[in-house]
Structure 1
Amino acid sequence: MVWPFNKTPVAPERISTDEVIPLFDRDDTATNKGVSLEFSMIYDEVLDADKIYGALWTLLEKPGWRKLGARLRLNDKGKLDYHVPAQFTNERPPFNYTHLVESTPFSQHRIGAKFPALTGKLQVLDALGHERLLTDEESTKRTLEDWTQHDVGQLGLHILSFPDATIVTITWLHTLLDAMGRHALFRAWQAVLEGRDNDVPPFLGYHSDPLEKLGTSSTAEKEVSMQPYLVSTLGMLRFAFNNIVYEKYFYPDDSARMVVLPAAEFAKIKAQAFVDLDSLDPSRITYTTSSPRKPFLSDGDITTAWILRLYARANPEIANSNPSRIFSIGNVMGMRDIVRTSEPKLLPPATEGAYIHNCISGSWSIMSVGDMLSLPLGHIAARIRSDLVVQSSRDHLEAAQRDAAGGKMNLYGSGDMVFSTLTNWAKAKLFEMDFGAARKDGEGNGKAVPKFIYPIAHSTSLPLRGSGNCIGRDKDGNWHFGMLMRKEFVEGFVKEIEKIGGERS
């Protein structure tokens, strides 16, 4: 029986003048449709909200960039379409906008108390957990239906103004863009704010996807390096039960923590990681191509190994499990550089066009729990590096994209594995988002870059516990991380930080 007060939400009536564009295959996936993000940048400067708002509106009026102001709709085949308004108006703006002015200084506000001053030591911050304190519940979207059932743009801009600080929050559904797409958006937004409209790059992929042919090559060798670890259908069911059904039923509460690793501490960790390579078989080390050849580890290899091992040691269910149990690390890997530099080239250089759409794949590192807990950090980082080198080749990428056609999601490891993913945003240089042109204290003179960046991901499609992100490096060289875990594991995580000389804030 259908009760009259249980009305099923329906999409707004189609506007005949809207331009309809199907989403690209790598955007319209079950994973992307189930993940929304809130991305808050905290500035010590007092910023002019009208200038920030106006610059974003101006950008989204530009050819191609208008696509970011489209509405999301499900078509008759269950796929997503963009409906781009012929004209943006106050009634149908390109993005959802709110601005709240607080009379209490940020330094004395309940939100400000969550972001204490950095001490120059390793710190773990309580931050905001999953509390929605930075955006308004009514105006912020979270699930796919929040977009498809309302006539709203895909982006949300929410500005919180204090007498001594400003918080700028962007919200979106993952169907819209990835981290490097956000980087391109921010750079274009900043260019408009600074009056450099000529520096806004052309928008790539308005009607058709330049990457449409990726994964269709018949000459690419079948990807075999990870094939022995491909999780079977039965294994996927076991993984889903362990990580979704069991976890959510018996331990429903998540908790997030931010970790700040000072530049000086990271320098020590990095130096030790390279010393660790002295005890590793040279065949397992990646070397530079220049002469003389030297061992190579990126900062990302080292930070990924460091934060995930820290989490593993703090989690009693990992630390006390069978040492032979598989520990699978999923590294989110950007594809733009690969398809820009290898043949056939599918994208021009970044200066010649901005590809905003999702353009990511994955790099997997498989080891045992025992190795993750006991190996020297440099050995773990070297494993991550060597796996990335193999899995970022064009042939491997073509094969992996072919296997993922239709939005299929493959997992590597085993059904009872420990699974942790890390998204590294350092390359996106998010701490360089400069709103200096909107400063109120000097008519736009000087810089204004974030002191803190606080991201929140809401997922109905992926288990996120035990995973995190490297947000990047701030202007002082401090590394910022976020980790999501079962609430019951937080105290152990904090104690692990304290054990290595850190402090809770």
Structure 2
Amino acid sequence: MGQPTVIPLHSQDDTWMNRGIALDFTVKFDQVLDPEHLRRSLDRLLEIGDWRKLGARLRLNASGQLEYHMPDRYDAQYPGFTYSTTTHSGYLNTSSDACAPALPRKPKIRYPTIFQPAASNLDAILHRPDSPTKLEDWIYTDRPQLNIHIATFADATLVTLTWLHTLMDASGRASLLKAWSAIVCGREHTVPPFHGFSDDPLADVTAKPPLEWFIRLPWLLIAIQWLFPVLTWIRALCELVRYPAYETRLVCVPGAMVTGMREQAMQELAAGDTSAAAAAANPPFVSESDIIVAWWSHCILRCGRPSCDQPITILNNFNIRAVFPGRFPPSAAYIGNAWLMAYTNLRCGQVLGQPVSHLALKIRKSLLDQRSKEQIYDYAYVQREGIRSAKGGFLSSMGLADSVIHCSNWHQARFFDVDFSAAVVGSGGDDDSRRDPAFGRPSLIIPTVHCRWPSMMNLGSVIGKDAGGDWWLMWQLKKGVWREMETQLAGMR
């Protein structure tokens, strides 16, 4: 097969944080998909131009840096991805089969609903026993970066992707799924070119020290980045001692409720703008995503009952690709990591003493202010010096553990729009089922995170909006907080 192509990982991929996180991403379809159709389509994607990089093997070089080793082609002896299937004769959506109760079954909901458990009780269904969960599972084996497991039932299909965070972020995952689905549905001509095969689009972003005052981080935290992670870890360990039990659950919020909250927020913000001229020129705006993050933060804080003076930090991951269109052409796909975090710093009294619209606008303003090129240059440098070398540890984990709410918002990735309809068994023709917007598209998404360090509390993701217009969240909270959350949400009925 010849000598492999060797490419160092890009600057935002080979970080201490990314090395320590592996992800499972399970997508449930309420139809039976043809696993072989999906496999052939992904095989074909890795044959198109630089998309072959997805099949590279991770290796640790003599300098302790990660690099990709890839051949010029893949075959049965050297596949571009790990692939396995299991077939279950029972029904997933309607039976009392042992595996069926473990999955959320969403009726037409009118109120926010918590589903438990998430993926923790589904391991035997979602992937093989040897599925990778840590860096060593890749660098000390001949395992490709992507691990795919497909479980088929008489009425449904579960597709699970597993990878190390060094491979891609949420936007990269969206680009991969969109390209894969294009081939599944016979639209290979729409597959975008693969961007950043060997050239790092962000190589110089972290190259220079910051030149301006940070909006997010006071200079004192930067100056003591050796001391700060120690304090953070002490606080986190204290939390684990005080509250050793935590759970990850899925939450479904009715779309009509989110729409109503946003309409009310827009009215409140317009009424609160004292300058009519300013409002006409630049009216206040919050999105449904802003609203759901603000509302959920309110819910978490009400369960925690912190004092009014306690500092609150809300972290909101954002994609920086759009900020640098010259580095990331919109017509190309960048499979990698290109994200930072926007910080919203308030006191608890400022949050709970105001309506949800107030916090939603603060979150929106933080995002707009902190995703400027200048701010990205500044913070990317500090993040690299901290997270990549572990000197600064989790610079993202500001304040006490109870005061940090960390959100990764995936709504823009549109994961519920993934179209595998052409892989549905017996999907020929143009019948009524194919015109259903949910046909061949995900009905449920279950993310699972494998961390090699104690996980922080109040951490989660806004997964997105499903075909029925309802919103899904995945969050990690203390068991006691979940009990209080259930009581709180029950009061909304």
Is it true that 1:374 corresponds to 2:367 in the alignment?
no
- SS at the partner of 1:72? strand
Aligned partners of 1:71, 1:96: CA distance in 2, in Å? 11
**Aligned partner of 2:301 among 281, 299, 312:** 312
1:168-247 aligned at under 5 Å gives the runs 168-216=159-207, 221-228=211-218, 231=221, 232=224, 233-243=226-236, 245-247=237-239
Please state if 1:165 is matched with 2:156. yes
Output the CA distance in 1 between the equivalents of 2:319 and 2:179. 20
Deviations 1:382-405 (A, max 9, x none): 111111111011111111122223
Counterpart secondary structure, 1:404? helix
Q: How does 1:31-50 map to 2 (within 5 A)?
A: 31-50=17-36
The answer as to 2:52 corresponding to 1:60 is no
Deviation of 1:115 (Å): 1.6
State the alpha-carbon separation in 1 of the partners of residues 165 and 3 from structure 2.
Answer: 26
Pair 1:117-2:96 in alignment: no
Q: For residues 414 and 115 of structure 1, what CA distance do their matches in structure 2 show?
A: 34
Asked whether the 8 Å contact 1:391–1:397 carries over to 2, the reply is yes
Q: Give the superposition deviation at 1:494.
A: 1.4
Aligned 8 A contact 1:48 1:438 in 2: yes
2:126 aligns to what? Answer: 135
- Mapped partners of 2:175, 2:476: distance in 1: 27
Asked whether the 8 Å contact 1:30–1:461 carries over to 2, the reply is no
Q: Percent identity?
A: 30
* CA RMSD of superposed structures (Å): 2.3
Q: Structure 1 stretches of 5 or more lacking a match?
A: 1-14
Aligned residue for 1:420? 405
User: Could you tell me how far apart the structure 1 residues matched to 2:454 and 2:381 are?
Assistant: 21
Deviation readout 1:464-491 (Å, 9 max, x if unpaired): 4211111011111111111111233221
Native 8 Å contact 1:100 1:159 kept in 2: yes
Selected match of 2:415 from 427, 430, 434: 430
Q: CA deviation at 1:102?
A: 0.4
Tell me the CA shift for residue 454 of structure 1. 0.9
- State how far apart, in whole Å, the 2-side matches of 1:80 and 1:16 are: 21
C-alpha distance in structure 2 between counterparts of 1:228 and 1:187, whole Å: 40
Instruction: Please say if residues 414 and 464 of structure 2, whose CA atoms lie closer than 8 Å, have aligned partners that are also in contact.
Output: yes
CA displacement at 1:60 relative to structure 2? 1.4
For 1:246-268, what per-residue CA distance to the aligned partner results, in whole angstroms no more than 9, with x for missing partners? 33345433311111111111122
Provide the C-alpha distance between the structure 2 equivalents of 1:460 and 1:213, rounded to a whole number of angstroms: 29
CA contact 1:421–1:467 (8 Å) conserved in 2: yes
- Unaligned ranges ≥5, structure 2: none
Residues 64 and 444 (structure 1 numbering): CA distance in 2 closer, same or farther, change over 3 Å?
farther
- Counterpart AA for 2:346: M
SS at match of 2:194: coil
Query: Would you say the 8 A contact 2:421–2:427 is kept in 1?
Result: no
Matching residue of 1:3: none
Instruction: Indicate conservation of the 8 Å contact 1:92/1:152, yes or no.
Output: no
Note if contact 1:74-1:148 (Cα within 8 Å) is conserved in structure 2.
Answer: yes
- The 1:234–1:402 alpha-carbon spacing in structure 2 relative to 1, beyond 3 Å, is closer
Shift of the alpha carbon at 1:110?
3.3
2:253 aligned residue: 261
Rounded Cα–Cα distance in structure 1 between residues aligned with 2:234 and 2:119: 25
Check 1:431–1:189 CA distance in 2 against 1; reply closer, same or farther (3 A cut): same
Which amino acid is the alignment partner of residue 136 of structure 2? Answer: E
C-alpha distance in structure 1 between counterparts of 2:136 and 2:427, whole Å: 43
Distance 1:101 1:112 in 2: 14
Q: What is the letter of the counterpart of residue 328 of structure 2? A: L
**Matched residue SS, 2:334:** coil
Superposed CA deviations along residues 148-186 of structure 1, whole A, max 9, x for unmatched, are 111111111111100011111111111000111111111
- The worse-fitting range, judged by mean Cα deviation, of 86-95 and 160-169 is 86-95
The one-letter code of the counterpart of 2:100 is G
Supply the AA of the counterpart residue of 2:396. L
The answer on whether the counterparts of 2:311 and 2:403 sit within 8 Å (CA) in structure 1 is yes
Q: Does 1:51 align with 2:30?
A: no
Q: Distance in 1 between matches of 2:320 and 2:454?
A: 21
Where does residue 499 of structure 1 map in the other structure? 491
Which of 393, 400, 418 is equivalent to 2:379?
Answer: 400
- C-alpha change, 1:118 and 1:414, in structure 2 (3 Å) is same
**By how many angstroms is 1:119 displaced?**
2.3
Q: CA deviation at 1:229?
A: 7.7
Corresponding residue number in structure 1 for 2:449: 457
Offset at 1:269?
A: 1.2
2:214 counterpart SS class: coil
